[in-house]
Amino acid sequence: MLWIGDLATWLQQRWPGEHEGLTVPLPDEWHRGDEELPAMPDRVIGLTVSGGPGLEADGLLDTLAVTVLARGRGPRPGDDHTQRALSAEALAQAADLAVLADGPHELIGHRTVSRIGRMGGAPSYLRRERSRTLVSCRYWITVDRPQPARALPRR
């Protein structure tokens, strides 16, 4: 299993900072996605890690599902670059770039990443909450599986 804190740290280290000419700041908060997003701050990324397709390579690798839920400003007519950079769409696109950025054999916490991909398409609109929008995307991440310590044979 991946720890949410390790996953958030990994995404922060890979954060692109710029997307389609917009400088997209990091979210105000990273939140454990299996709980409801807090009412504030407006700009939040919720992360959820769940079981994926399972074990591969005789149990040495584990493929997990990761959901990224971005919340931010909803689009408004006449938004300038600064306002668009604070939108849920910009936040989700920056997170998408961070997840899919090149970098084989990186570590998330103490787990080595071997493959990453999207489950389905690009980040997509989920729903609107008052003046804020929620955008979601799912990924699969294959990591090494910690092996239990083996007892040495007795002599």
Arithmetic mean of pLDDT over the chain: 78
**Confidence at residue 152, expressed as pLDDT on a 0 to 100 scale:** 61
- The domain ranges of the chain are 4-144
Burial call 70-81: b when 16+ CB within 10 Å, e when fewer: bbbbbeeeeeee
**Confidence at residue 103, expressed as pLDDT on a 0 to 100 scale:** 64
**Confidence at residue 75, expressed as pLDDT on a 0 to 100 scale:** 74
pLDDT digits (tens, 9 = 90+) for 102-132: 765 678 888 888 888 888 777 877 777 777 8
| Total residue length of the chain | 155
67 and 136 in contact (C-beta within 8 Å)?
yes
Q: Which CATH architecture has domain 4-144?
A: 2-Layer Sandwich (3.30)
pLDDT digits (tens, 9 = 90+) for 8-61: 888 888 887 666 666 777 777 777 766 677 777 788 888 888 877 766 666 677
Range list of H helices, the chain: 4-14, 81-85, 88-100
pTM score of the predicted model: 0.78
